[in-house]
Structure 1
Amino acid sequence: MTEPRHRPAGTPVAFFDVDETLLATKTLLDFWDFWAASGAWPVPGRLPDLRARVAAGEDRDTLNREYYRRFAGVPVATLRSAARRWYEAHRRGPRAFVTAAVEAVDGHRRRGHEVVLVSGSLRPLLEAVAEDFGAAEVRCAEQEVTAGGLLTGEVDRSMIGQAKGDAVAAVVHGRGVRAEDCWAYGDHVSDLAMLRAVGHPVVVGGSPLLVAEARRAGWTVLGGHTGPRRAASHADRPVMASENGR
């Protein structure tokens, strides 16, 4: 588990959702395809199609828990290795990232802010992303592991909806920073609790419902264009939610 690297108390924090906010993909679905094809571990047959169920709008918490149960009995070290291989392949893609969010991360880091990832995705995968972007911490669903290092298939709490808002509040309290001095970036209505928990909410791309809420509330909305990761430049202009009057 990645240990938090804290800056002085009161340092503003920028919270980022990951799927389709920072990475231009649904990581759990893409990783499952990679995992099933990799042969790293036997995959049960006749599993329901995840993408079809997501597209049909099934309850996210239910789908999330069913997803994690697919890894019951897998050594956590095997999952960690596969997750890092997936990310190394993904990050080289020509449309792997949401450009505006990448620029926002770079801008916050230049200004000395902490970056924290808040996502329902796999911790091993998120830790690879955190290392790549210099994020201080990851808040996500925690998979249960036996004393022998095997995944049970259960998680403590799905990091969806209000759980994201609670995670943001916990980090804000633990760091001794004011919520109104912090940022949050998300793309989906399930990110609303996280966005409302800070003083500078930013919608990236975004579903029509979330964009409508952002416009009603006067939040910043950034484009959802995708592209490769480029090296951060100190000449780049930081992305600031405060430019929208906040």
Structure 2
Amino acid sequence: MGPSAAFFDLDKTVIAKSSALAFGRPFYRDGLISRRDVVKSAYAQLMFRLGGGTDEQAMARTRDYLAALCKGWRVEQVQQIVAETLNELINPYVYAEAAALIAEHQAAGRDVVLVSASGDEMVRPIGELLGITDVIATRMAIVDGRYSGQVEFYSAGPAKVVGINELAAARGYDLSQCFAYSDSSSDLPMLEAVGHPSVVNPDRALRRAALERSWPVLEFRHPIALGKRLRDRPAVPVAAAALGVGVGVAIGFALYGRHRRARAAVA
């Protein structure tokens, strides 16, 4: 049997919170986003997740808002914010069940890959805390130490499968022998791309799809602090953690605007 992998979504699958919003407060504190951005982002992130986030136009709007929002942010400032707050914001929220499952796949000789719409430079250090070195995540162009306003790869929905296929071709994975885990119906393409999909804390649409396809449904309920494992690691500079909160805020603008238009139409 050839090499295989287990692909894990991040938010609500491995960690019990949104990585896109985790850094919202310190980014607001340091002036990168406004209070209005935070409120819109939190509201619309909830609506996005309840709706499954499968609308391609909404994904495109999110990508475009992300690029505009982060344009001009200094990478050095973002690095400092994330280095100072990673322990507080991520450490206590890793699901014990996810950590055990990751270890089980690694013990079986499989590569473990985090697949997330959040920024590569944010997802990668979270992965390192879990002993994961491979990630597929959103990549934003950086020019002269600042975000240029261009998104090189937006790792959401069907685009996740593009990243998975590229990695599978490079590593020689037989995807029929691979595993995938997610909580969101927006990740149906990723789950359908492998031979062994499972859903974790699924939204309504994904739970329905899993029941129709006889996929395993897992419930992760016990976040656990990484504690000493996290404290013993050096701080990891995060060049694009802004992508994480940027995704949340971008979703906020896209869906908050759509919500207001819908209300106006009803009125």
TM-score interval, normalised by the smaller of the two chains: 0.7 to 0.9
**Does residue 79 of structure 1 match 2:78?**
yes
Q: Deviations over 1:108-156 (max 9, x none)?
A: 111221111110002221111111112131111111111x121123312
TM-fit CA distance, 1:68:
4.5
TM-fit CA distance, 1:107:
0.8
Alpha-carbon contact 2:22-2:90 (below 8 Å) kept: no
Give 1:19's aligned amino acid: D
Alpha-carbon contact 1:84-1:125 (below 8 Å) kept: no
Alpha-carbon contact 1:102-1:229 (below 8 Å) kept: no
Alpha-carbon contact 1:87-1:128 (below 8 Å) kept: no
TM-fit CA distance, 1:171:
1.2
TM-fit CA distance, 1:78:
2.7
Q: 1:150 to 1:221 in 2, by over 3 A?
A: same
Q: Normalised by the size of structure 2, how large is the TM-score?
A: 0.74
Alpha-carbon contact 2:124-2:133 (below 8 Å) kept: no
Give 1:82's aligned amino acid: I
**Does residue 208 of structure 1 match 2:199?**
no
Which residue number corresponds to residue 142 of structure 1?
139
TM-fit CA distance, 1:230:
5.7
Which residue number corresponds to residue 245 of structure 2?
none
Q: 1:86 to 1:133 in 2, by over 3 A?
A: same
Higher relative contact order (CA 8 A, sep 6+): 2
Alpha-carbon contact 2:14-2:98 (below 8 Å) kept: yes
Which residue number corresponds to residue 168 of structure 2?
172
- Secondary structure of 1:134's match? coil
Identical aligned residues as a percent: 25
* 1-structure distance, mates of 2:36, 2:13: 31
Which residue number corresponds to residue 92 of structure 1?
91
Alpha-carbon contact 2:23-2:89 (below 8 Å) kept: no
TM-fit CA distance, 1:226:
3.0
Query: Where do 5+ consecutive residues of structure 1 fail to align?
Result: 1-8, 232-246
Alpha-carbon contact 2:185-2:205 (below 8 Å) kept: yes
Alpha-carbon contact 1:87-1:125 (below 8 Å) kept: no
Residue 121 of structure 1 is aligned with which of 118, 122, 136? 118
The root-mean-square deviation of aligned C-alpha atoms, in Å, is 2.3
More helix by share: 2
Q: 1:214 to 1:84 in 2, by over 3 A?
A: farther
Which residue number corresponds to residue 70 of structure 1?
69
Query: Where do 5+ consecutive residues of structure 2 fail to align?
Result: 228-267
Q: 1:149 to 1:196 in 2, by over 3 A?
A: same
Q: Normalised by the size of structure 1, how large is the TM-score?
A: 0.80
* 2-structure distance, mates of 1:103, 1:69: 39
Q: 1:230 to 1:72 in 2, by over 3 A?
A: closer
- How many residues align? The count is 218
Give 1:36's aligned amino acid: Y
Give 2:69's aligned amino acid: R
